[in-house]
Amino acid sequence: MDGSPLASGERTKITVTCPNCGAAAQWRPNPHRPFCSLTCRLVDLGVWLDEGYRIPADERGDVP
């Protein structure tokens, strides 16, 4: 064994950036991942429900 944390059985702490507020958040044991909290998770859900995330449509008039 080389003595590295993964070799000795320790898990590395993975930190991600919350897509809503930009705060650092632990990946494990965070039940709200990739968000940092329930609040950020619900804010994102609200944007989805209000259809805030959209792909722009092609507004050409040549549709059959």
pLDDT surpasses 50 at 1: no
Q: What is the mean pLDDT of residues 17-26?
A: 94
User: Would you state the CATH architecture of domain 1-52?
Assistant: 2-Layer Sandwich (3.30)
Q: Which pLDDT value is given to residue 6?
A: 53
Average pLDDT, the chain: 82
Based on DSSP, count helices (H) and strands (E) in the chain, helices before strands.
1, 2
Q: Which pLDDT value is given to residue 64?
A: 59
Q: Is 20 exposed, middle or buried (0-12, 13-18, 19+ CB in 10 A)?
A: middle
Q: What is the mean pLDDT of residues 5-28?
A: 80
pLDDT surpasses 80 at 52: yes
